[in-house]
Amino acid sequence: MKLPKLTNLSVTGTTVGDVHFPKVKLLLPFDGSNGATSTTDSSNANNSVTFVGTAQLSTAQSKFGGSSLLLDGNSDYIYIANDDLDFSSTESFTLEFWIYFNDIDDGNIVNFYSDYSGASNGMSIDKSTSNVLRAHNGDSTRITGTTTVSAGQWYHIALSGTSGSYKLFLNGTQEGSTSSNGFTGGTTNKYIGTFYWAGLGGAVRLVNGYIEDFRITKGEARYTSNFTPPTSAHLTSAGDVNKHIVVNSGADGVAIGTGGISQARIAKAWADIDGSQAAANMIASSYNISSITDNATGVFSFNFSTAMTDANYSAVTSLGLDGGLATSVASCKLQDKTTALTKVRCTYRSSGAATDYDYNIICLIVFGN
């Protein structure tokens, strides 16, 4: 049999996805018909969104997709009631959206306070009277931007970071940062387009303009330095890559997997960890792994961000040997697997019984339905 040349391999039917999509807790593209007063959360959380006043979708302005959320600056805003959109003071997150100001008057864009009358915590992003962006936590202004914004154009705004390092970006350029206490979110309604203060009658400082592609990623600081703003709408799935592999060997041509590679052969989770570190610092890189539990010497649980549909999956492990164990026989075996986690036990054997060991390179790949 003649082997095909690598130059004759091609990939078709590829679906590009967002590797951090399992961590997305809110995604509002604001796609829909002109005048619609409801929208769909495209994240897996499927949050319910409430339109207030004459807030509506509009096709008059759009960055992507043909429509956006229109707020008139008088009585319009929306809110989401979901405790899972709260952030702890040490948690990584990214909040981002596109905005088009019709009027540049002072307005509050995002308000994650339960109610400002109890502003010991909570987060907001607004535009000051001098038309620069600000990020607040509780009663304190944590970050003040330097670039003046104006009406009549689209801006990409992002607040991203983790405990001790938070950055505010405008069109991909860092506007400022803070190393102060972490940002937190209120535990009840999350408001978009207003500043909510019951003591002043509820919604005040309303936005006049359009908002699109509003996304919250919890547990991931997507932006840590200057970046190129998105050039298309945010992806709405983790994606399946390399669905079809076509081998074209000369004129005859042979197709492999023309019906698509089985989902069971697509990695559902993976991680590269250093077992010699504290559990919070073990993960070097990962996908769909939220944390590592250090159960005992050599025994680790890989906890999934998004649970498996069932426990009938397979997992593959590999190890990196420390220099002192070069003559030993290394082993990493599955101890348990559930929809929530995979547990492994890592050992070495030079003679006699196996000894549990915290290897500095432990890799896991999970394949499932």
Of 67-71, 140-144, 180-184, which range is least confident? 180-184
Most confident of 127-136, 138-147, 276-285: 276-285
pLDDT reported for residue 363: 93
Tell whether the model's pLDDT for residue 267 goes beyond 70.
yes
CATH class of 21-218: mainly beta
Stated as kind and residue range, the H or E segment containing 4 is none
pLDDT reported for residue 118: 53
Q: What is the pLDDT of residues 11-41, one digit of tens each?
A: 444 445 788 888 999 999 999 999 999 999 9
Q: Is 285 exposed, middle or buried (0-12, 13-18, 19+ CB in 10 A)?
A: exposed
Most confident of 310-314, 336-340, 365-369: 336-340
pLDDT reported for residue 50: 95
Number of H helices, E strands in the chain: 0, 29
Domain ranges of the chain: 21-218, 263-367
Tell whether the model's pLDDT for residue 296 goes beyond 50.
yes
**Sign for the pseudo-dihedral over CA of 64, 65, 66, 70:** negative
Which of 78, 24, 50 minimizes the C-alpha distance to 191?
Answer: 78
Compute and round to an integer the Cα radius of gyration of the chain. 25
Hey, what long-range contacts does 113-117 have (CB within 8 A, 24 or more apart)? 113/186, 113/191, 113/196, 114/186, 114/187, 114/188, 114/189, 115/186, 115/188, 115/196, 115/197, 115/198, 116/195, 116/196, 116/197, 116/198, 116/199, 117/197, 117/198, 117/199
- 109 confidence band (pLDDT: 50, 70, 90): confident
Structure tokens at 42: 């495209």
Tell whether the model's pLDDT for residue 334 goes beyond 70.
yes
Q: Determine the average pLDDT of the residues in 237-260.
A: 42
Query: What percent of the chain shows pLDDT beyond 70?
Result: 74
Enter the pTM of the model.
0.62
pLDDT averaged over every residue in the chain: 80
263-367, what's its fold? Immunoglobulin-like (2.60.40)
Tell whether the model's pLDDT for residue 262 goes beyond 70.
no
Q: How many CB atoms lie within 10 A of CB 142?
A: 21
